[in-house]
Structure 1
């Protein structure tokens, strides 16, 4: 898992670097460019997915088993 997490971290870092560069662009220029919007959406998705997976990994390492879904987490344990 750690090897996979490291690989995904490297992809996350690339996504954040790209998003940082694109944040300096004029909003109108971004809105008019469908390819650029698609790139932004995908890189935001990559970043968010990594953060969620990293959080789950940390939780599983510290407290053991974690719930698969929010619904499972919000229901009382029996």
Structure 2
């Protein structure tokens, strides 16, 4: 049974590491972008917090324009070494 928005006092928040979206179109970024496009909808009962240590590539700006997503760039905290 899907979550009904009117039953929730607050929107649950989901944090997503979107560092792969900073590098343009690669295998990982394409997969992550498609998953996010399907999850982050205008009628979603969830709020998505997208975190990266670099700016998101312009190809993926459509994901950031959704009202249920918020982007945070955490430049002070380095990512995992193999993702930088």
TM-score relative to the length of structure 1: 0.31
The structure richer in strand per residue is 2
The structure richer in helix per residue is 1
